[in-house]
Chains A and B, each alone.
Chain A
Amino acid sequence: MSLLGIFHDLLYGIGVAASPTNLFVAAVGLLLGTAIGVLPGLGGTNGIALLLPLTFRLQPTSAIILLSSVYWGAIFGGAITSILFNIPGEPWSVATTFDGHPLAKQGKPGIALAAAFTSSFIGAFISIVLFTFFAPPLAEVALKFGPPENFAVLLLAFATIAGLEGGDPLKSVLMTLLGLLLGTVGFDIVSGSPRMTFDVVALQSGINFIVIAIGLFGLGEILLTVEEGLRLEGVRARLSFRDVWETWKLFPRYVWTIIRGTALGFWIGVLPGTGATPASFMSYGLARQFSPRGHRFGTGEVEGVVAPETAAHAAGIGALLPMITLGIPGSPTAAVMLAGFFIWGLNPGPLLFREQREFVWGLIGSMYLANVIGVLIVLTMVPAFAAINRIPFGILAPLIVILSSVGAYAANNQVLDLWIMLASGLAGYLFKKLGYPLAPLVVALVLGDMTEQALRQSLIMGQGSPAIFLHRPIALTFMAAALALVALPALRALRRQARGRRGAAPAPAPAPRG
């Protein structure tokens, strides 16, 4: 596709996104998302999972604009509680607390917030430009894929999640398999026979992904928060325009940190299954190594806020690229959005670009508009958002539980789902405590049907022989990459264990939260 064609499509997309309805939807989504990002125990993933049932009645284009705006809002909002209360509202804003909260305690919360929002915005904007020019060619390539290639890409997605999670590779593999297995519950698409239901009629329609996600992420997170002891002591939020100006004058110094954070974030975001959290940590770590003031990181350096925030938002954008072009979510949040595609009657994958021009370019156009509107909203509304954290825990906890129940019930209109949600809440708490990562399970559950279809079709193409994967170079390359991604951490763990047996007792590394 020519460059001119892309510009033409982009202008068309901005036009779609700028329609009064879509602008309104984006503003509502940004406000809701920011509120969700500020609330502890509710993240972008749960926020979108909770709102997904509400999008049944919207046009698909407006629906995706709503959900993606919630996502951008949550990324902006996550920084607010990290800086003011030292409570990361989102896993990807953990790194923002390292320098953001010390800055706030030194009486400079305004500077920390302005730095977070501005760098978030810059990271997002550069990423969107990259997105605009990379997405269409990637989709063109992906159009040539058959079932074996699709299966190999899915395998690569699972391997990336399992490999990069950083925890125990065995547990990542187990959670991926478990997620795929949960996805097989319900009617088999090919034969039509009910499977894995243990003769429970209500299970025949399958286990809804939203129910599991709300349980694992929403309720499980509340239990973990409670266990760690909930302390909500904040710094009063003030943000004057002088603070913003003072901060902006600092930014030219951080050019390299911003470029590094954005490039890293976009690339990690595009890799399936990773998302903003590892990107923010890596960007912070690199900035600490390369900055001349790196030794002062952790004591309230503005650069220590800029680095994770640019990367987190850039990754948030990048994560949508494989979702739009290949139908593979780049993050748990994108996985929830992908579930929405099916609800709206769209088939994610390369054909979207050809058949759903309004949807795809409307979404891309809305990214440009929503991030500009978003940064203006958060810069002006910080005090109002901070007030959410003054809701006492005695009201906040039951409120989250009730909203979770509403979301879980709305998915299928079955009360049984509430019990499944409760069980996954408890499971999520136990899993997370024992270092079993949750993201692989969720992504596998969403992609389960697609994976099984691709595998079965490939096997039919190969007349029952898995050798078909060996005869297709693209598929083979993807599968080799997937194998390497899983094998490398496993080999490293084995070597660590072997060395450990000679020395101290082996201790599996605890998985990072989020």
Chain B
Amino acid sequence: MQRGELLMALGLVAGALLLVREALRLPIAWTSAGPGPGFFPFWLAVGVTIVAAVILVRAWRAGRRRDEPFVPPGAWKPLAIVFFPMVAVVALIHYLGIYLGGALYLAGYMRLVGRHRWAQVAVVSVALPLVLFLIFERWFLMPMPKGLALEWFLYGR
């Protein structure tokens, strides 16, 4: 946990410095229209840097005590089982769209993690995207990401 605290504070300081640099690309001083557009983000980023640095120093001074690990030993596997499919489904939605990608993700998850029977897998992973399609595209006329594959199939481009 202690190392996690250090790493997080370090990451926050580094990220905040990047944001300070980004804010400096705009005028931060007084302009004819009042404070410049960079004024507010600049001082916020400076504030984040200072607070994160204080947290960093404090965590450093607390030293490396023996404490509980960041993730409890038995929790790595269930975490991985949930997190990596989460990454995968966003990638799937990016390329295959929410209907196709969602169906694949649901089917894969139900079969591999939930160990459901194939019949159940088929029914749920077809029904859910279909319901979503009806709700969003039909009733609310809100286009959902269809992915490059389905776009080409539906609209030929």
A residues within 8 Å of B by Cβ? 53-54, 56-57, 170-171, 173-174, 177-178, 180-181, 184, 188, 190-191, 193, 195-196, 198, 219, 222-223, 226-230, 392-395, 397-399, 401-402, 405-406, 409-410, 413, 415, 418-419, 421-422, 425-426, 430-431, 433-434, 436, 452, 455-457, 459-460, 464, 505-506
Contact = CB atoms under 8 A, between A and B. Distances in A.
- Please report whether the interface of chain A is mostly helix, strand, loop or mixed according to DSSP: helix
Question: Which one of B37, B74, B98 has the greatest number of beta carbons of chain A within 10 Å?
Answer: B37
B109 to A, nearest CB: 4
Nearest to B82: A226
Contacts of B102: 402, 405
Contacts of A392: 114, 116
Contact of B86 (A173, A401, A506): A401
Given A406-B98, A410-B144, A506 B19 contact: no
Interface string B124-146: 10001000100010001011110
Interface in B45-75: 45, 47-48, 51-52, 54-55, 58, 62, 65, 70-72, 74-75
B8 A430 contact: yes
Q: Determine the main DSSP class of B at the interface with A.
A: helix
A372 B83 CA distance: 41
B51 A174 contact: yes
A382 to B, nearest CB: 25
A399 B116 CA distance: 15
Contacts of B45: 181
Contact of A394 (B4, B71, B115): B115
B79 A227 contact: yes
Contacts of A222: 82
21 contacts: A170-B51, A170-B55, A178-B48, A181-B45, A184-B44, A190-B34, A193-B37, A195-B26, A195-B38, A195-B41, A223-B82, A227-B71, A228-B75, A394-B109, A394-B115, A398-B105, A402-B105, A402-B106, A402-B132, A425-B86, A456-B34
Nearest to B107: A398
A194 to B, nearest CB: 9
Nearest to A397: B82
Given A394-B109, A456-B40, A415 B52 contact: no
B71 A395 contact: no
A195 B37 contact: yes
B79 A223 contact: yes
B85 to A, nearest CB: 7
Contacts of B23: 195-196
Given A406-B144, A452-B40, A455-B40, A395 B110 contact: yes
Interface centre among B34, B39, B113 (most CB of A within 10 A): B34
Contacts of B19: 181, 196
A198 B23 CA distance: 10
B98 A177 contact: no
Nearest to B55: A170
Nearest to B105: A398
A404 B93 CA distance: 12
Contact of A456 (B12, B35, B41, B94): B35
Contacts of A173: 51
Contact of B93 (A195, A405, A460): A405
Interface in B71-93: 71-72, 74-75, 78-79, 81-83, 85-87, 89-90, 93
B33 interface: yes
Contacts of B151: none
B51 A433 contact: no
A425 B90 CA distance: 12
A418 to B, nearest CB: 5
A398 B114 CA distance: 10
A409 B114 contact: no
A456 B39 CA distance: 9
In the A-B complex, the 3 residue pairs with the closest CB atoms? A394-B114, A188-B37, A460-B34
B44 A177 contact: yes
A174 B40 contact: no
Contacts of A195: 23, 26, 37-38, 41
A5 B13 CA distance: 55
Nearest to B124: A395
Given A226-B82, A401-B105, 8 more contacts: A53-B142, A177-B48, A184-B40, A402-B105, A418-B145, A419-B90, A426-B83, A505-B65
A191 B37 CA distance: 7
Contacts of B26: 188, 193, 195
A331 to B, nearest CB: 24
